[in-house]
Structure 1
Amino acid sequence: MIRLFVFAIVILGLGWSFSWLADRPGLISITWQGQLIETSLMVAATLLVAIVAAMMLIGWVVRVIWTSPHLVQRHFRARKRDRGYQALSTGLIAAGAGNAHLARKMSLRSRSLIRADQEPLILLLEAQTALIEGKHDEARSIFEAMSQDPETREIGLRGLYMEARRLGADEAARQYAENAAENAPYLPWAAQATLEYRCQAGRWDDAIRLLDQQRTAGAIERAQADRWKAVLLTAKATERLEGDPKGARDDAMAALKLAKDLVPAGVIAARAYARENNLRKTASVLESLWKLSPHPDVAQAYIRARSGDSTTDRLKRAEKLEALRPNNVESLIAVARAALDTQDFSKARIKAEAAARIEPREGVFLLLADIEEADTGDQGRVRHWLGQALRAPRDPSWVADGIVSDHWLPVSPATGRLDAFEWKAPFGQLEGPIEEGSLAETAIASLPRVADRSHHDEQLNDSEPASQLSAAPDEEPTPTAIVAFPKPAEPEPTKPAPPAVVRATDEKPVGPASGKGSETAGEKEAVIDPFNGRPPDDPGVKDHDAPAEPPTRLRLF
C-alpha cells in the first residue's frame, strides 16, 4: 500500500513537471566537437528521463543475471526446507498419536532435510520417538543434550525431570526442578515441584521466596499466591511457636492479613499472644476469626485462653461466642460443653439438643451421651444416644487426599500438595441423605424415660436386665425403648366349646353349636373360625380335666 502511494506521488510529480516545462518554452544549444546541437527544452527533458529509465532497466537485467545462481540455489534450498518442515510436522503428529514407526521415519527424513542445529524441534521429535519405542536411555541422552542449549534448556530439564520421577529418583528430580525454577520461575511445573519439595523439607523461607518470584513473573494469580503465602507463613509460625513466640506471632498475623479466614493462623497468633499474657489481643484475634469462620479450635482457644479461669468463667466466654454467632452449631456445642463442666446439665442438654436439630452428627450425640451419663447415669438413655451417634454422619475434620488428620498440616502427606487440607466431613452418610433435623427429632422423640428407682431395684432383685425400662402407664412404649413386661398369669381351665362355622353374614351357624336347628335372635352372634371354616389340623393338647364326649351312635357294623 505504501509503495502504491509513493508510485502515485512520483507519477503526479513527473506530470506536473512536464506541464510546467510546456508552459515555459525555450531552446537548448550544445556545441560539441565543432557541431552545434539545438533542441527545445521539452525534448531535452524527455530524452533525459528516457536515458535514466534505460539505465535502470539495464542495471536490473545485469543484477538478475549476476545473482541468478544464488537465486536458483535459494529456491531449491527453500523447497528442501519446506519438505523437511512437512516431515517434522507429520512426525510430531505421529508421535503424539503414538505411531512409533511413522514418527521414526519422519524423524530420519527431517534430519536429512533440515540441520538439527537450525531446528531444535528435530531433537524433540527424536526424544519423543525414543520414549514411545521404550528407549529411555536414548531419550535421556537427547534431553541432556537439549538441556545444554540455552534455546532448549527448559524442555530438556522437563524431560529429565519426568524421567527421574518415572525411575523414582526423587533427589535427581528435585535438582532438575530447582534448576529450571531458578532459571525460569514462570514455568508452572518447575515452580510447583520445587515448592512442594521445599515444603516437604521445611524450607519455608525458600518456598516463600520462590512464591514471590512466581507472583512477580505472573505465573500464578494474585489470590492464589496470597493464599499459599499465608499457608507457608502459618507453617513457619507453627514451628517457631515453641522457641520464638514473638516471631511466630508476627508470621501468623502476616498470614491473617493475606487470608483472614485461615483458622490455624489465627489460633497460632492467639497462642503467641497468650504466652505474652496479652489477653486483650488474644480475644480480639479469636473473636474476629470466629465471626468469619466458627471452628472448634477457635472455641477451644478462646474458652481456655486463661488457664486460671473457673468453669463458670469459661461458660461465660462460651456464651459470648454464642452471642457473636447465634444459631450456629459450633457455638451451641461450645456452650453445651462448658455447661457440662459447670454441672449445669439442663442448659447443656438444651444447647446440645438444639445443635442436634441444626446439624445431627456423631459428636453432638456423643455429647448428649456424656451429659446423660453425668446427669442421670441411666445406661439405657446413654446407650440410646450412643446408638444415634453410630447412625449419624461423622464430624468435620481436616481431610486431604483421602487422609483424615486430627490437626491441620500445610502439605498433604500423600501427594505433597500445598494447602490440601480442608475442614469437612471425612465420609458421606452411607444410608443416603438425611433430611434437616429429622434424625435429631426422631432421636429425641424415641428417647426412653428415666426409670423409677424403686421399680429399677425390683428389676435388679428379680434378676432382670438393668437396661430394661418401664413405660409410663398412660403412654405406649416406643419401638426403641426396651420395656420389661410382667409375667402373665396362667389362665383358668375352661371347657372348650365347639366353634360355629359361618358361611356368610346372613346364614345360620351349622354344627353342634346350632342345637336342634332352632335359633333365637340372641344366638345369631357366632364365632368366625380363622382356619377358613375348617377345624385346625392339630387340635392341641387334650384336656384330661374336661368331661368325656358322649359316644356317637353311628356304627359301621
Structure 2
Amino acid sequence: MIRIVVYILVVLALGFGFSWLADRPGELQIVWQGQLIEMSLTAAATLIVAIVAIVMIAWWLVRTLWTSPHSVRRYFRARKRDRGYQAISTGLIAAGAGNAALARRMSARARGLIRADQEPLIMVLEAQAALIEGKHDDARRMYEQMVADPETRELGLRGLYLEATRAGAHEAARQYAERAAEDAPYLPWAAKAALEYRCQTSAWSDAIHLLDQQRVAGVLTRAEADRLKAVLLTAKAMDQLDGDPAAARDNATSALKLAKDLIPASLTAARAYLREDNLRKAASVLEAAWKLSPHPEIASLYVQARGGDGAVDRLKRAERLEQVKPNNIYSLLIVAEMALEARDFGKARAKAEGAARMQASERMFLLLADIEDAETGDQARIRYWMSQALKAPRDPAWVADGQVSETWLPYSPVSGKLDAFEWKIPYAQLSGPVEEGTVVSGASALAELPPLGQPHQARENKPTPAPEPAKPVAPVSPPAKTAPGTAEPEPFFGGAPDDPGVRDGSKAQDEKTRLNLF
C-alpha cells in the first residue's frame, strides 16, 4: 500500500513539473565542440528523464545477468528447503499420531534435504520417533545434543527432565529442573518442579527467591505470587518456631500482610508471640483472623493461650470470641465446650443445641453426649446422641488430593502442589455417614430426643468407694413345688436362661445368689 502511494506521488510530481515548464516556455542553447544545439526546456527535461530511465534499465539488465547463477542456485536451494520443511511437518504429525515408521522415514528425508545443524527440528523429530519406538537411550542422546545448542537448550532440558522422571531418577530430574529454572525462570514447568523440590527439602529461602524470579519474569500474577509467598513464609516460620521465635514471628506477620485469610500464618504468628510472653499481641492476631474466617484451631489456641487460666477464665475468653463473631457455629461450639469444663451445664447445653439447630455435625452431637453424661448420666440419651453422631456428616479437616492431614502442610505430599490443603470435608466421607438414616437436621434430632429418665446428680470427681466384701451364701433348699393350676413365678431378669447347663428348677435361686455376689 505504501509503495502504491509513493508511486502515485512520484507520477503527480512529474506531471506537475512538466506542466510548470509548459506554462513557462523557453529555449536552451548548448555549444559543444563548436556546434550550437538549441531546444526547448520541455524537450530538454524530457530528454533527461529518458536518459535516466535508459540508464536504470541498462543497469538492471546487467545486474540480472551478473547475478543469474546465484539466483538460480538460490531458487533450487529454496525449493529443496521447502521440501525438507514439508518432510519435517509430515514427520511431526506422524510422531504425534504414533506412526514411528513414517516419522523415521520423514526424518531421514529431512536430513537429506536440510542440514541438521541448521534446523533443530530434525533432532526433535528423531527424539520423538525414538520415544515412540521405546528407544529411550537414543532419545536421551538427542536431548543431550539439544542441551549443547543454546537455541534448543530449554527443549533438551525438558526432555531430559521427563525422561529422568519416567525412569524414577528423581535426583537427576531435580538437577535438570534446577538448571532450567536458573537459566530460564520464565519456564512454568521448570519453576514449578524446582519449587516443589525445594519445598520437599524445606529450602524455604531458595523457594522464595525462585518465586520472586517467577514474579519478575511474569510467569505468575501478582495475586498468585503473593499467595504462594505467604504460604512459603508460613512454612518457614513454622520451622523456626521452636528455635527462633522472633524470626518466626517476623515471617508469619509478613505472610499475613500478603494473605490476611491464611489461617496457619495467624496461628504461627500467635504462637510466636506466646513464646515471647506477648499475650496481648497474640490475642489481637487471633481475633483478627477469627473475624475473617472462624476456625476451630484459632478458638482452641485463643482459649488456652494463658496456661494458668482456670475453666471459668477459659469460658470468658470463649465468650469473647462469640462477641467477635456472633451467630457462628464454631463460636457456639467453643463456648459450649468451655462451659462444660466449667460445669455450667445450662449454658453448655443451650450453646450446643443452638449449634445443632444451625448445622448438624459429628463434633456437635458428641459434645451433646458429653454434656448429657456429665449432667444427667442418662444412658438412653447418651446412646441417642452417640447414634446421631454416627449418622451426622463428618467434620471438616485439612485435605489435599484426597489425603487428610491432622495439621496444615504447605504442599501436597501426593502431587507436590503448593498451597494445596483446604479446610473441608474429606472426599472419602462425602458419600454418607457411618450408619444409615442420615440426620436431616439438628433441630429434628433435638425434637426426637427421648425424655429424661430417673434424675441423676451431676457427676463430680470423687473417689470411688471400695466394694464391700462378698457375704457368705447360705445353703439353698430346693424350691417348693407349686400347686396345680398355679403359675410358676417369673425370675426378675426375664425368662429361662440361655445356658442349657442351668437347671430350670433353680433359676430363681441362681439369680438371687448372683446378686449377693455383686
Fold match by TM threshold 0.5: yes
Q: Does 1:12 align with 2:8?
A: no
Report the 3-state secondary structure (helix = DSSP H, G, I; strand = E; otherwise coil) of the residue aligned with 2:151.
Answer: coil
* Deviation digits for residues 269-299 of structure 1 (CA, Å, limit 9, x no counterpart): 1111122222221111111100111111100
Which runs of 5 or more structure 2 residues have no equivalent in the other structure? 457-491, 496-518
* Pair 164,36 (structure 1): closer, same or farther in 2 beyond 3 Å: same
Partner of 2:481: none
Alpha carbons 2:28, 2:44 under 8 Å: kept: no
Partner of 2:301: 301
Name which of structure 1's ranges 300-309 and 41-50 shifts more when overlaid on structure 2. Answer: 41-50
Partner of 1:223: 223
Partner of 2:72: 72
Partner of 1:289: 289
Which has the larger helix fraction? 2
Between the aligned partners of 2:73 and 2:348, the Cα distance in structure 1 is 96
Between the aligned partners of 1:262 and 1:16, the Cα distance in structure 2 is 77
Alpha carbons 1:143, 1:156 under 8 Å: kept: yes
* Deviation digits for residues 61-117 of structure 1 (CA, Å, limit 9, x no counterpart): 111111111111111111111111111111111111112122111111112111222
Q: Does 1:450 align with 2:459?
A: no
* Pair 383,67 (structure 1): closer, same or farther in 2 beyond 3 Å: same
Between the aligned partners of 1:31 and 1:389, the Cα distance in structure 2 is 123
Q: How does 1:100-119 map to 2 (within 5 A)?
A: 100-119=100-119
Counterpart amino acid of 2:442? A
Between the aligned partners of 2:437 and 2:215, the Cα distance in structure 1 is 45
Between the aligned partners of 1:107 and 1:389, the Cα distance in structure 2 is 67
Report the 3-state secondary structure (helix = DSSP H, G, I; strand = E; otherwise coil) of the residue aligned with 2:156.
Answer: helix
Alpha carbons 2:388, 2:439 under 8 Å: kept: no
Between the aligned partners of 2:330 and 2:308, the Cα distance in structure 1 is 24
* Pair 441,17 (structure 1): closer, same or farther in 2 beyond 3 Å: closer
* Pair 21,308 (structure 1): closer, same or farther in 2 beyond 3 Å: same
Structure 1's consecutive aligned runs of 4 or more residues displaced over 6 angstroms after TM superposition are 434-437, 485-488
Between the aligned partners of 1:415 and 1:313, the Cα distance in structure 2 is 44
Report the 3-state secondary structure (helix = DSSP H, G, I; strand = E; otherwise coil) of the residue aligned with 1:373.
Answer: helix
Counterpart amino acid of 1:221? T
Structure-1-length-normalised TM-score: 0.78
Partner of 2:442: 440
Partner of 2:154: 154
Alpha carbons 2:143, 2:160 under 8 Å: kept: yes
Report the 3-state secondary structure (helix = DSSP H, G, I; strand = E; otherwise coil) of the residue aligned with 1:410.
Answer: coil
Counterpart amino acid of 2:385? W
Between the aligned partners of 2:383 and 2:138, the Cα distance in structure 1 is 68
Partner of 2:389: 389
* Pair 60,445 (structure 1): closer, same or farther in 2 beyond 3 Å: same
* Deviation digits for residues 464-495 of structure 1 (CA, Å, limit 9, x no counterpart): xxxxxxxxxxxxxxxxxxxxx9989xxxxxxx
Give the superposition deviation at 1:441: 2.8
Give the superposition deviation at 1:10: 3.1
Q: How does 1:209-220 map to 2 (within 5 A)?
A: 209-220=209-220
Between the aligned partners of 2:443 and 2:17, the Cα distance in structure 1 is 106
Partner of 1:332: 332
Partner of 1:525: none
Partner of 2:480: none
* Pair 286,337 (structure 1): closer, same or farther in 2 beyond 3 Å: same
Between the aligned partners of 2:320 and 2:282, the Cα distance in structure 1 is 15
Counterpart amino acid of 1:109? R
Structure-2-length-normalised TM-score: 0.84
Q: How does 1:234-249 map to 2 (within 5 A)?
A: 234-249=234-249
Alpha carbons 2:392, 2:438 under 8 Å: kept: no
Partner of 2:488: none
Name which of structure 1's ranges 1-10 and 375-384 shifts more when overlaid on structure 2. Answer: 1-10
* CA RMSD across the alignment: 2.3
Counterpart amino acid of 1:46? T
% same residue: 64
* Pair 41,322 (structure 1): closer, same or farther in 2 beyond 3 Å: closer
Counterpart amino acid of 1:389? A
Give the superposition deviation at 1:206: 0.3
Alpha carbons 2:249, 2:273 under 8 Å: kept: yes
Report the 3-state secondary structure (helix = DSSP H, G, I; strand = E; otherwise coil) of the residue aligned with 1:152.
Answer: helix
Counterpart amino acid of 2:157? L
Alpha carbons 2:279, 2:305 under 8 Å: kept: yes
Q: How does 1:105-184 map to 2 (within 5 A)?
A: 105-184=105-184
* Pair 39,362 (structure 1): closer, same or farther in 2 beyond 3 Å: closer
Between the aligned partners of 2:42 and 2:445, the Cα distance in structure 1 is 118
* Deviation digits for residues 9-55 of structure 1 (CA, Å, limit 9, x no counterpart): 333333344344442322414242x5554444443443333222222
Q: How does 1:385-534 map to 2 (within 5 A)?
A: 385-426=385-426, 427-430=429-432, 438-452=440-454
Give the superposition deviation at 1:172: 0.2
Between the aligned partners of 1:327 and 1:29, the Cα distance in structure 2 is 111
* Pair 320,27 (structure 1): closer, same or farther in 2 beyond 3 Å: closer
Between the aligned partners of 1:30 and 1:314, the Cα distance in structure 2 is 122
Report the 3-state secondary structure (helix = DSSP H, G, I; strand = E; otherwise coil) of the residue aligned with 1:351.
Answer: helix
Between the aligned partners of 1:429 and 1:319, the Cα distance in structure 2 is 35
Alpha carbons 1:337, 1:348 under 8 Å: kept: yes
* Pair 299,24 (structure 1): closer, same or farther in 2 beyond 3 Å: same
Name which of structure 1's ranges 37-46 and 199-208 shifts more when overlaid on structure 2. Answer: 37-46
Between the aligned partners of 2:402 and 2:373, the Cα distance in structure 1 is 34
* Pair 283,16 (structure 1): closer, same or farther in 2 beyond 3 Å: same
Give the superposition deviation at 1:215: 0.7
Give the superposition deviation at 1:120: 1.3
Which structure has the higher relative contact order (CA within 8 Å, separation 6+)?
A: 2
Between the aligned partners of 2:38 and 2:445, the Cα distance in structure 1 is 129
* Pair 31,341 (structure 1): closer, same or farther in 2 beyond 3 Å: closer
Report the 3-state secondary structure (helix = DSSP H, G, I; strand = E; otherwise coil) of the residue aligned with 2:423.
Answer: strand
Between the aligned partners of 2:411 and 2:433, the Cα distance in structure 1 is 32
* Pair 299,41 (structure 1): closer, same or farther in 2 beyond 3 Å: closer
Report the 3-state secondary structure (helix = DSSP H, G, I; strand = E; otherwise coil) of the residue aligned with 1:399.
Answer: strand
Counterpart amino acid of 1:183? D
Alpha carbons 1:270, 1:286 under 8 Å: kept: yes
Between the aligned partners of 2:40 and 2:316, the Cα distance in structure 1 is 119
Alpha carbons 2:359, 2:441 under 8 Å: kept: no
Between the aligned partners of 2:321 and 2:134, the Cα distance in structure 1 is 63
* Deviation digits for residues 210-248 of structure 1 (CA, Å, limit 9, x no counterpart): 011101111012111111111111111111111111111
Alpha carbons 1:362, 1:390 under 8 Å: kept: yes
Between the aligned partners of 1:205 and 1:127, the Cα distance in structure 2 is 37
* Pair 220,435 (structure 1): closer, same or farther in 2 beyond 3 Å: farther
Partner of 1:28: 29
Partner of 2:472: none
Between the aligned partners of 1:188 and 1:435, the Cα distance in structure 2 is 49
Alpha carbons 1:83, 1:113 under 8 Å: kept: yes
Between the aligned partners of 2:418 and 2:6, the Cα distance in structure 1 is 63
Give the superposition deviation at 1:409: 0.9
Name which of structure 1's ranges 379-388 and 203-212 shifts more when overlaid on structure 2. Answer: 379-388
Alpha carbons 1:357, 1:436 under 8 Å: kept: no
Give the superposition deviation at 1:326: 1.5
